[in-house]
């Protein structure tokens, strides 16, 4: 059975003290209720070691927003998958459009990162999605198929461990959301590609999250689609009221 997941992506926001306060507040807000989805928070690297022991691991999984494409060694400023895992974090966002666009992460780099994350027991949340011009040219299926192909080098067993996130770049941080119908259409297409490659069972079990200006007011409609298994949340993950509003879309 695939999981419903609401994952927050804090991006480059919050000082350590603010991040600790946000994590504590979220932990408190979720303490007394049962959630109908897995909840994950992906934080800047420096927050991980402090935030991980603060939250109830049964309620909240913690993840990084990136990891290095090398195992270890002379790579000044990088943080390895092993280091992320050593904090108790269980997830890592990889292939986010901001990393692809601003830090020039190529298919080869992402391939190395995904494999290292899996080697160190982290669950990659692998992001794919088209830019506005590609959507306007009706090329979104082609684009996501190409991006997805970079994780299709994984064995069936390894692919079964990853979470996918469809994030149309034109919807990220813009206030423009894909319509529920647009989301369902492309999520179903993504699942069909997974089925072609790994078979129906793997495809049925694969969680495919939607990301891009998801908020409490549109989450329920988006998540009601059969192929939308939750969300990857940026801006709205920085407020407990908004993030919880999205989590509650599954209640």
Q: Which positions are catalytic?
A: 96, 167
Among 148, 233, 240, 249, binds ligand PGA (CB under 6 A): 233
Among 26, 122, 214, 228, binds ligand PGA (CB under 6 A): 214
CA distance 111 to 69: 8
Q: What are phi and psi of 91, to 5 degrees?
A: -130, 165
Binding status of residue 211 toward ligand PGA by CB under 6 A: yes
Contacts 24+ apart (CB under 8 A), 24-29: 24/54, 25/240, 26/55, 26/60, 26/240, 26/243, 26/244, 27/54, 27/55, 27/56, 27/59, 27/60, 29/240, 29/244
- Beta carbon of residue 98, minimum distance to ligand PGA (angstroms, whole number): 7
Residue with tokens 């666009």: 101
Contact present, 27 and 238 (Cβ < 8 Å): no
Write b or e for each residue in 82-96: b if 16 or more Cβ atoms lie within 10 A of its Cβ, otherwise e.
bbbbebebbbbbbbb
Q: 30 or 236, CB closer to ligand PGA?
A: 236
Binding status of residue 232 toward ligand PGA by CB under 6 A: yes
Q: Which of residues 164-203 bind ligand PGA (CB under 6 A)?
A: 167, 172-173
Q: Which of residues 56-85 bind ligand PGA (CB under 6 A)?
A: none
Among 198, 235, 246, 250, binds ligand PGA (CB under 6 A): 235
Residues near ligand PGA (CB under 6 A), total: 13
- Beta carbon of residue 44, minimum distance to ligand PGA (angstroms, whole number): 14
CA distance 224 to 209: 12
Binding status of residue 44 toward ligand PGA by CB under 6 A: no
Binding status of residue 43 toward ligand PGA by CB under 6 A: no
- 30-38, 71-79, 117-125, 227-235 -> range binding ligand PGA (CB under 6 A): 227-235
- Beta carbon of residue 18, minimum distance to ligand PGA (angstroms, whole number): 17
Residue with tokens 């807000």: 29
- 49-57, 99-107, 196-204, 228-236 -> range binding ligand PGA (CB under 6 A): 228-236
CB neighbour list of residue 185: distance below 8 Å, 6 or more residues apart: none
Among 26, 154, 234, 247, binds ligand PGA (CB under 6 A): 234
In the chain, helix, strand, coil percent, each to 5? Answer: 50, 15, 35
Residues that bind ligand PGA (CB under 6 A): 9, 167, 172-173, 211-214, 232-236
């Amino acid at each position: 059975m695939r999981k419903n997941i609401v994952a927050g992506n804090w991006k480059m926001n919050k000082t350590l003290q603010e991040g600790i306060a946000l994590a504590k507040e979220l932990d408190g807000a979720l303490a007394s209720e049962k959630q109908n989805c897995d909840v994950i928070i992906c934080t800047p690297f420096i927050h991980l070691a402090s935030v991980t022991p603060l939250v109830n691991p049964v309620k909240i999984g913690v993840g990084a927003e990136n990891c290095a494409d090398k195992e270890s060694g002379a790579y000044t400023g990088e943080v390895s998958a092993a280091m992320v895992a050593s904090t108790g974090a269980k997830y890592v966002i990889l292939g986010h459009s901001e990393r692809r666009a601003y830090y020039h992460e190529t298919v080869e780099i992402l391939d190395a990162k995904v494999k290292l994350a899996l080697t160190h027991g982290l669950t990659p949340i692998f992001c794919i999605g088209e830019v506005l011009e590609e959507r306007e040219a009706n090329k979104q299926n082609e684009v996501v198929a190409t991006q997805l192909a970079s994780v299709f080098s994984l064995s069936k067993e390894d692919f079964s461990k990853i979470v996918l996130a469809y994030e149309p770049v034109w919807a990220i941080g813009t206030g423009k959301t894909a319509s529920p119908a647009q989301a369902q259409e492309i999520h179903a297409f993504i699942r069909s590609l997974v089925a072609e490659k790994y078979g129906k069972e793997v495809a049925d079990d694969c969680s495919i999250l939607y990301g891009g200006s998801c908020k409490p007011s549109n989450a329920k409609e988006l998540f009601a689609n059969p192929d939308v298994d939750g969300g990857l949340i940026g801006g709205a993950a920085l407020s407990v009221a908004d993030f919880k509003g999205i989590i509650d879309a599954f209640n």
